């Protein structure tokens, strides 16, 4: 069997052990079929026992029939590709399509409908058996019911199918490229074409395309954080250093990043057989928890279905007691069930969600799990990453200190900010150092790309400096050409500085320029002078103090600070052509001239502070969880507003009041920064306590495991938690969260698989958009439900009156089905397009226990107020139509027995006219139609009032929701079509009706409108009053 099957049976837990070693535990998830599974477990273990790292290169070549110099033979590679399949993670194995479809057809409600259809068919069969071929009503009803189930089933299936497609299409957006050597030639091919035995090259910036046994390496370092959560770069080299494949240095894992250096290696595992692949496919076997909205809908449908069956049962019993034949009583039962059960609620719901998903996709949020959209709306806590989500994920020069003054650089993404004064001589000197003492360079061929977006080869600080000087100075590459480099000492951790020596541009000036950058205190040590306004002044204590202050200030902002200095070498001692030796350092490295400090930070995204503010007004707490340093984390938190202005931590208060930390009243501190070390020693109750105590929290230096604990603690407080994450190790937290949000750019596939939503632009502000849309969907769904529920009453009362007062039936089963499944669908969907009532992001998040989708206020208002008015409208129209044709209301009462007796061909009406059964039947159909039109007319007004729950419709705008207007027109057209299309009377029991019968319900419609405007006015005027509580839904 395929490895895929085996993986699904086990869950892998990855734990970081104290010694920092990774340990992969395989847990058996289920215990049934023990023997078979045991065997599979053995297989699994065997597969985990990769020994490729221990083989010699020769053995490796033999095993994979490859060559470490020429790579695979391309035809052979093609064969392996056919054998093993493409090198990509298979999406988690879904349920087979037919099962998905069957599931759509066999829900609780659907089963009810099936039973109903079966009853109808049996009734029809019995009628046929009795030789009564006149009425095929039951047959039509059965067909209609089956059609409904199948159509809604298809619809649901289609929606599901579509949302799966969204994800699939998203995956194909960026095919990864890899450099492979086959037949001795280098190729760039799509990474998914790689096969076991391929010889590949990786270099800094690449994502490792498969599990690779390293053959050669030049300073290759990888970031295994997506696998282990450990963000320290790890060296990769050809030597086997550990017997565990996870520990050894000569294996680079699929989907990890190569940070620097280059390496070549032989692929030993591809696709799902890679370590990551195994973990990902195991993790995806874990069941998702039900989303709050799914619970809501189920809860709601259960109540409604229960109500339907209760009412239906009561009627059934009453009908049987009154003396109806069993079958007829059964048909009543069904009519009521059909009228009551909001069968297409799921369909409407699906449409609403997929609409929103589409809308979000346009705003760079891909929603994997449709229902998650609404969950996002009820989110009360967002645990956000810092890097890349809140920040731009690129180091940027933010401050400079020269001429004893701190200057602020422009850190905005599009360089729209203010620049600083660049006229000073010191600045020119500093700029020269920054440009020259820098190893980073732009990848070629990017001249047309804006500077901030250009790809740079080099580390983060150098990249920042390069881009900074490119923007302020112009073409740095050319500038460097002019100042030819004579010698270089790269940055290393012992020196903590970097030196380069350059010839000057002017050929007449024989001096060499030595430029140096490094850790500020080390640079300062080597300086004798300081440049102020272009003048070299001796570096005395006063200047040193000024330096210290600036250094502390910048450091306190959480920024990485570098010092810069230079020295023009004595042309006598170092003439042109002097051979500088970087090992010996045969040139001065002290007594230099200090030029300035430059500090860098990964700046917050421009949109984030606004988004955090929005979250705050929306009652959502934003918690920062980052692996970064506490000071940086705090600085970013403060700059984006996670720690608001004026909020202090316990430490801040202590230092301000000059008292020991222990004496501070902890409740006074709104903000709190907890680092991973502290977190480790905390009991989970302590964490909950801290979360309660400080509204503004930042967790720094946390491991992905701790992220999970934080999420759980928030959930213990009853919060609905959204979590952002990108690494493989975030997947437990993403799964645990009520809504997991993965990063589309930085995110690993495992994180994306575990998440419910993917932010294509990794931008926090997109989450806020999601929240807004989620809330909107809940509101609109509520409106839609209110609209849908309302007509249940005018559908039910005809039966009630029919049975209790024995009038001729005012509304037929098929007519009800038409209302439910045909005319009212479009308007109820159109409410999903309704814009937010302006204050949507100023409300607290929904309390999932209290604010239900279908609450009592909504039901009572819809059923007993609007529904009642609609019923009155229907009956008024019904009695009008009856009376105008000759049947006065009083005569109708008790008429049922005669009316329905098909042997009576001369039943007298109020004028003494005699009606045949056929004539009465058409009159009955006329009544159905009239009642139908009444409900439709009222529903048109109903959909208008449902546009808002609190605001006046006039404030919301009548025609702003174009779809709704179209829906109303459509509804009217459909009504006309049903009434006036020839052939309708005998198929669907619709009769052409007189124009004035369309008008009878209008006053009631207007009443509905006015009534609801009064309700909304009361709700707006008296918030919190009895009125508000009882009438606001």
Partner 1 sequence: MLFTISEFEPKYQDRVAPPGLTLIPQVLKTEISFSISDPQSYGQYVEGLNKFLKNYDSDQQASDMIFDTCADKPDDYIMRGAFNNAQGQKKVCRFKREWLENCSGIADSSYGYRDGKPCVVVKLNRVLGFKPKPPLNESLPAEVMGKYNQYVMPVHCSAKKEEDADKVGPVEYYGMAGYAGFPLQYYPYYGKLLQPKYLQPLLAVQFTNLTYDTEVRVECKLYGENIGYSDKDRFQGRFEVKFDIKSS
Residues near partner 1, by CB under 8 A: 876, 879-880, 883-886, 888-889, 903-906, 908-919, 921-923, 926, 986, 994, 996, 1000
E-strand ranges in 423-489 read 441-442, 456-457, 485-489
Which C-beta is closer to partner 1: that of 539 or that of 881? 881
Enumerate the H helices of 557-629 as residue ranges.
Answer: 608-617
Which C-beta is closer to partner 1: that of 268 or that of 1000? 1000
Cα torsion through 441, 445, 448, 451, rounded to 10: -10
- Token readout for 814 is 């098929």
Known catalytic residue at 385: yes
Least distance between partner 1 and beta carbon 997 (Å)? 9
Least distance between partner 1 and beta carbon 913 (Å)? 5
- 980 CB-near residues (< 8 Å, 6+ apart): 992
Least distance between partner 1 and beta carbon 868 (Å)? 19
**Nearest CA among 222, 218, 211 for reference residue 251:** 211
Which C-beta is closer to partner 1: that of 739 or that of 1000? 1000
Least distance between partner 1 and beta carbon 1004 (Å)? 13
Q: Residue 518, SS3?
A: strand
Least distance between partner 1 and beta carbon 919 (Å)? 6
Instruction: Tell me which of 52, 272, 385, 602 is the catalytic residue.
Output: 385
**Nearest CA among 707, 701, 645 for reference residue 670:** 645
Q: Residue 647, SS3?
A: coil
Stated as kind and residue range, the H or E segment containing 396 is strand 396-402
Q: Residue 297, SS3?
A: helix
Q: What is the DSSP letter of 391?
A: B
Least distance between partner 1 and beta carbon 915 (Å)? 6
Stated as kind and residue range, the H or E segment containing 14 is strand 10-16
Which C-beta is closer to partner 1: that of 838 or that of 905? 905
Rounded Cα distance between 383 and 722, Å, is 6
Least distance between partner 1 and beta carbon 899 (Å)? 13
Q: DSSP letters along 331-362, please?
A: HHHHHHHHHHS-TTHHHHHHHHHHHHHHHHHH
Least distance between partner 1 and beta carbon 371 (Å)? 48
**Nearest CA among 691, 652, 695 for reference residue 670:** 695
* Distant-in-sequence contacts of 131-139, Cβ < 8 A, 24+ apart: 134/902, 137/812, 137/813, 137/814, 137/989, 138/331
User: From residue 488, how far is each of 442, 583, 591, 698 by CA, in Å?
Assistant: 19, 10, 18, 41
Rounded Cα distance between 410 and 388, Å, is 18
Rounded Cα distance between 587 and 868, Å, is 97
Rounded Cα distance between 75 and 100, Å, is 40
Which C-beta is closer to partner 1: that of 486 or that of 991? 991
Q: Residue 527, SS3?
A: strand
Q: Residue 400, SS3?
A: strand
Least distance between partner 1 and beta carbon 917 (Å)? 7
Which C-beta is closer to partner 1: that of 96 or that of 131? 131
Rounded Cα distance between 259 and 558, Å, is 24
**Nearest CA among 224, 230, 237, 234 for reference residue 275:** 224
Half-sphere exposure of 306 (CA within 13 A, CB side): 6
Which C-beta is closer to partner 1: that of 571 or that of 985? 985
Q: DSSP letters along 746-814, please?
A: T--HHHHHH-SEEETT--HHHHHHHHHHHHHHHHHHHHHHHHHHHTHHHHHHHHHHHHHH-PPPSS-HH
Which C-beta is closer to partner 1: that of 412 or that of 876? 876
Least distance between partner 1 and beta carbon 124 (Å)? 18
Which C-beta is closer to partner 1: that of 68 or that of 904? 904
Rounded Cα distance between 349 and 345, Å, is 6
Least distance between partner 1 and beta carbon 118 (Å)? 28
Rounded Cα distance between 46 and 756, Å, is 33
Q: What is the DSSP letter of 1001?
A: T
Least distance between partner 1 and beta carbon 892 (Å)? 12
Which C-beta is closer to partner 1: that of 456 or that of 882? 882
The partner residues of 623 in beta bridges, in order of sequence, read 383
User: From residue 544, how far is each of 253, 405, 430, 548 by CA, in Å?
Assistant: 48, 14, 18, 6
Which C-beta is closer to partner 1: that of 446 or that of 908? 908
Backbone angles phi, psi at 834, to 5 degrees: -65, 140
- CA Rg, the chain, in Å? 37
Distance between start and end Cα atoms, the chain: 55
- 212 CB-near residues (< 8 Å, 6+ apart): 200, 202, 251, 252, 263, 265, 266, 267, 268
User: From residue 794, how far is each of 677, 754, 816, 865, 935 by CA, in Å?
Assistant: 64, 46, 10, 11, 7
Which C-beta is closer to partner 1: that of 95 or that of 913? 913
Which C-beta is closer to partner 1: that of 831 or that of 907? 907
Least distance between partner 1 and beta carbon 918 (Å)? 3
Catalytic positions are 385
């Amino acid at each position: 069997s395929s490895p895929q099957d085996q993986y699904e049976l086990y869950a892998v837990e990855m734990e970081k052990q104290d010694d920092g070693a990774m340990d992969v535990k395989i847990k058996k998830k289920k215990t049934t079929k023990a023997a078979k599974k045991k065997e599979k477990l053995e297989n699994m273990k065997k597969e985990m026992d990769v020994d490729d790292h221990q083989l010699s290169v020769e053995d490796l070549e033999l095993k994979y029939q490859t060559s470490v110099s020429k790579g695979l033979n391309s035809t052979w590679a093609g064969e392996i590709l056919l054998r093993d399949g493409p090198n990509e993670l298979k999406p988690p194995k879904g349920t087979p399509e037919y099962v998905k479809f069957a599931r759509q057809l066999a829900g609780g409600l659907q089963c009810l409908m099936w039973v109903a259809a079966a009853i109808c068919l049996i009734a029809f069969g019995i009628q046929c058996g009795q030789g009564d071929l006149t009425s095929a009503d039951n047959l039509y009803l059965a067909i209609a019911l089956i059609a409904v189930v199948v159509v809604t089933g298809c619809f649901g299936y289609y929606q599901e199918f579509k949302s799966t497609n969204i994800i699939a299409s998203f995956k194909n957006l960026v095919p990864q490229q890899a450099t492979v050597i086959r037949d001795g030639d280098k190729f760039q091919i799509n990474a998914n074409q790689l096969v076991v035995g391929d010889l590949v090259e990786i270099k800094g910036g690449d994502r490792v395309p498969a599990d690779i046994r390293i053959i050669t390496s030049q300073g290759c370092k990888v970031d295994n954080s997506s696998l282990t959560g450990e963000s320290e770069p790890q060296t990769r080299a050809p030597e086997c250093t550990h017997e565990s494949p996870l520990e050894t240095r000569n294996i680079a894992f699929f989907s990890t990043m190569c940070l620097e250096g280059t390496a070549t290696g032989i692929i030993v595992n591809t696709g799902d057989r890679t370590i990551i692949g195994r973990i990902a496919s195991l993790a995806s076997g874990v069941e998702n928890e039900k989303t709050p909205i799914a619970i809501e809908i189920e809860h709601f449908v259960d109540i409604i279905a229960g109500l339907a069956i209760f009412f239906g049962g009561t009627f059934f019993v009453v009908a049987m007691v009154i003396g109806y034949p069993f079958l007829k009583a059964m048909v009543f039962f069904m009519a009521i069930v059909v009228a009551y059960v909001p069968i297409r609620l799921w369909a409407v719901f699906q449409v609403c969600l997929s609409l929103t998903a589409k809308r979000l996709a346009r705003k760079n949020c891909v929603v994997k799990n449709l229902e998650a959209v609404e969950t996002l709306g009820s989110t009360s806590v967002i645990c956000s990453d810092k890097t890349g989500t809140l920040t731009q994920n690129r180091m940027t020069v933010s401050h400079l200190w020269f001429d004893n003054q701190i200057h602020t650089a422009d850190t905005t993404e599009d360089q729209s900010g203010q620049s600083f004064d660049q006229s000073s001589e010191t600045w020119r000197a500093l700029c020269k150092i920054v440009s020259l003492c820098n190893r980073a360079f732009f990848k070629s061929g990017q001249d047309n790309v804006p500077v901030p977006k250009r790809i740079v080869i080099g580390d983060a600080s150098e990249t920042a400096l390069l881009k900074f000087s490119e923007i302020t100075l112009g073409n740095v590459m050319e500038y460097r050409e002019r100042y030819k480099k004579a010698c270089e000492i790269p940055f290393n951790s012992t020196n903590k500085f970097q030196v380069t020596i350059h010839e000057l541009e002017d050929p007449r000036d024989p001096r060499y320029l030595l430029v140096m950058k490094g850790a500020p205190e080390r640079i300062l040590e080597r300086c004798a002078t300081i440049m102020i306004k272009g003048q070299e002044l001796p570096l005395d204590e006063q200047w040193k103090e000024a330096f210290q202050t600036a250094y502390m200030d910048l450091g306190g902002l959480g920024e990485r600070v570098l010092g810069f200095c230079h020295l023009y070498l004595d042309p006598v001692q170092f003439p042109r052509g002097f051979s500088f030796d970087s090992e010996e350092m045969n040139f001065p490295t002290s007594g230099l001239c200090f030029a300035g400090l430059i500090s860098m930070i990964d700046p917050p995204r421009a949109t984030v502070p606004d988004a955090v503010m929005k979250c705050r007004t929306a009652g959502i707490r934003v918690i920062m969880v980052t692996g970064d340093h506490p000071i940086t984390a705090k600085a970013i938190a403060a700059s984006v507003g996670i720690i608001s202005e004026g909020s202090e931590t316990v430490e801040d208060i202590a230092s301000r009041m000059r008292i020991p930390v222990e004496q501070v009243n902890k409740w006074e501190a709104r903000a709190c920064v907890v680092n991973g070390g502290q977190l480790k020693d905390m009991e989970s109750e302590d964490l909950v306590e801290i979360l309660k105590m400080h509204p503004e929290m930042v967790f720094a230096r946390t491991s992905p495991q701790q992220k999970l604990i934080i999420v759980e603690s928030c959930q213990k407080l009853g919060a609905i938690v959204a979590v952002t994450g990108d690494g493989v190790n975030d997947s437990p937290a993403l799964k645990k969260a009520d809504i997991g949000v993965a990063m589309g750019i930085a995110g690993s596939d495992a994180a994306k698989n575990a998440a419910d939503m993917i932010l294509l632009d990794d931008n926090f502000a997109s989450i806020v958009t999601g929240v807004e849309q989620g809330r909107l969907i809940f509101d609109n769904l509520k409106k839609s439900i209110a609209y849908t529920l309302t007509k249940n009453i005018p559908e039910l009362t005809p039966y009630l009156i029919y049975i209790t007062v024995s009038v001729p039936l005012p509304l037929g089963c098929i007519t009800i089905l038409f209302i439910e499944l045909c005319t009212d669908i479009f308007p109820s969907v159109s409410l999903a397009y309704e814009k937010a009532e302006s204050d949507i992001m100023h409300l607290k998040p929904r309390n999932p226990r209290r604010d239900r989708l279908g609450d009592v206020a909504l039901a009572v208002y819809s059923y007993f107020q609007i529904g009642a008015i609609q019923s009155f409208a229907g009956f008024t129209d019904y009695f009008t139509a009856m009376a105008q044709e000759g049947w006065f209301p009083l005569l109708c009462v008790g008429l049922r027995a005669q009316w329905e007796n098909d042997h009576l061909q001369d039943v007298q009406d109020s004028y003494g006219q005699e009606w045949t059964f056929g004539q009465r039947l058409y009159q009955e159909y006329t009544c159905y139609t009239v009642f139908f039109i009444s409900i439709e007319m009222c529903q048109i007004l109903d959909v208008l009032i449902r546009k808002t729950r609190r605001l006046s419709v006039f404030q919301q705008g009548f025609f702003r929701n174009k779809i709704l207007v179209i829906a109303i027109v459509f509804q009217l057209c459909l009504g006309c079509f049903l009434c006036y299309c020839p052939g309708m009377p005998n198929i669907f029991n619709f009769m052409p009706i007189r124009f004035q019968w369309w008008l009878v319900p209008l006053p009631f419609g207007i009443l509905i409108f006015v009534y609801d405007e009064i309700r909304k006015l009361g709700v707006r005027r008296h918030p919190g009053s009895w009125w508000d509580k009882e009438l606001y839904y």
